[in-house]
Amino acid sequence: MSRKQILIIDDEADVCGFFRRMLTRKGYQVTTATNEADALKALSGTVFSVAMVDLKLPDTDGLTLLQAIKSRQPDCEVIIMTGYSTVKTAVTAMQRGAYEYLEKPFDDIGEIEALIARAVASGEPGPKGEQAREEWADVASAVGFQVGGSPLMRRLVSLAYKVAGKNINVLIQGKTGTGKEVLARFIHAASNRAEAAFIPVNCGALPENLLESELFGHERGAFTGANQTRRGIFELANHGTLLLDEIGDASPMIQVKLLRVLETGEFMRVGGERPIKTDVRVIAATNVNLEEAIREKTFREDLFYRLNVVRLEIPSLQQRSEDVPMLVEHFARLFNPRARVSAAAMRLLQNHSWPGNIRELANVMRRAVVMCPDETILPGHLNNRFQAVSPATLISSSQVINGAAGFLQLLEKFRDQLAGNDVFDSSAPEEIERTLRALRDIEGVLLAVMREKGWAESAHLGLRESEEETVRNALELCKWNITEAARILGVGRNTLYRKIELFNLTR
């Protein structure tokens, strides 16, 4: 078996000599270069498994060499070597295809050897290389992070995994519902702080005075009601990770205090007189454009630069639409392990734009599981926005529940939907009128036939029993949280209370 080729590009002869001795002992063939010309010459004559590139060179820079290496030898993994002052540029290099970066000075020789071995394995074909490329998979599974197959998402998670082990702040940007907190938990779980606390705090959910006390704690007597000393989140999260969610909503005063903590590693409790040291890794998340907020003077530029050492932007669900089927199946099984989604329902879900992203999808699937009387989720079990309401749709959907009682149930459900303003949002007025006339005609004919045969009373009894079962299922799924159960049933809280009383339901 041929020896793997490693290229070292650094203008310091001592660094080149150090890596040559270390890697030669490990069985690698090592080539060194101290400038761009020597590096390009080496690349033209030898195929390398790994190139270690200094970010700062006399005649070029690491980003330029990264591009040159990847254009000539796409399978060569590039490890950027950098000082702390250029970590942000090194992360940019990783976003452009670099495998990893190393900070100077090199302290842990064993970790460097392990990193190079992983990089070599990553470029190899077959299971070993595939495993190296997805070394984040176990951590993602442990925190319930559904990554999917989207190249955009997989690159993001790969970068997040690599920066997780660095003691640097991370800014996560993404639209509401994309999973910013889940990504933050993944970073914490993949870091060397995983055994310590992970504490999220929503900066927009609390008034300024309460948020200050929540973050920094307070001394006894600091304000009315402060009957005892209370530690804040920066103390509780010491040696762990703090997620500052919706950081763009933090007040100017809170921003100033956060900046001081990030700069000095110290803070004071509300009403306190002595500084307290803390070692916390800060991850900030926001769904607003902070650069725009800086221009509008609502967010401090110096705080932004402290938080934005590494920026991770989560794609919207529409941008990773190929992952919708996987996420649909995941949430269906999460709420009912035996649930399956029909092809027709899946088509409707795939064609939806998902403005609420994964949070919206999870809510839709939770409701669908409640509305589904068996294990197969059909179009009729989905939210109103996924289907055009028409007689044909109702007739087709009536196959979900056999018999006239099932059809009457759907008609009853249709009447309930009319109480909401969104059922016909996308329909023209004339279409709505035609649909209503057709429904009245169909229902009139059906009830007339059923009365002649003496079926009407039993049909309405079946409707009542089915509705009672649906309400009970929703309450049990939500652990009798009335607000949540009402939301997934699509009714108001007062309506749900009336149903509970009507059916005499108890916990």
3-state secondary structure of 273: coil
Angle of CA points 79, 89, 93, to nearest 5°: 40
Beta 50-54 vs 77-82: how paired, if at all? Answer: parallel
Is CATH 3.40.50.300 what the domain over 142-313 is classified as, yes or no?
A: yes
> What does the pLDDT profile of the chain (507 residues) look like in tens digits?
467 999 999 999 999 999 999 999 999 999 999 999 999 999 998 999 999 999 988 899 899 999 999 999 999 999 999 876 567 787 888 888 898 888 888 878 888 999 999 889 876 655 444 444 478 999 999 999 999 999 899 989 999 998 998 888 999 999 999 999 999 999 999 999 999 999 999 998 888 888 998 999 989 888 877 888 889 999 999 999 999 999 999 999 999 999 999 999 999 999 988 999 999 999 999 999 999 999 999 999 999 999 998 999 999 999 999 999 999 999 999 999 999 999 989 999 998 889 899 999 999 999 999 988 888 999 888 877 775 444 444 444 444 444 444 555 555 555 545 544 444 444 455 555 555 555 555 555 555 555 555 554 444 444 455 677 778 878 887 788 888 888 777 677 878 888 888 888 888
Angle of CA points 455, 458, 462, to nearest 5°: 130
Cα(219)–Cα(226) distance, rounded to whole angstroms? 7
CATH of domain 5-133: 3.40.50.2300
Its pTM stands at: 0.72
Is CATH 1.10.8.60 what the domain over 321-502 is classified as, yes or no?
A: yes
Domain boundaries, the chain: 5-133, 142-313, 321-502
- Burial (CB count <10 Å: 0-12, 13-18, 19+), residue 292: exposed
- Number of Cβ atoms within 10 Å of the Cβ of 343: 7
On the question of a common fold for 142-313 and 321-502, the answer reads no
Strand partners, 81: 54, 102
In degrees and rounded to multiples of 5, residue 218 shows phi and psi of -150, 155
Strand partners, 20: none
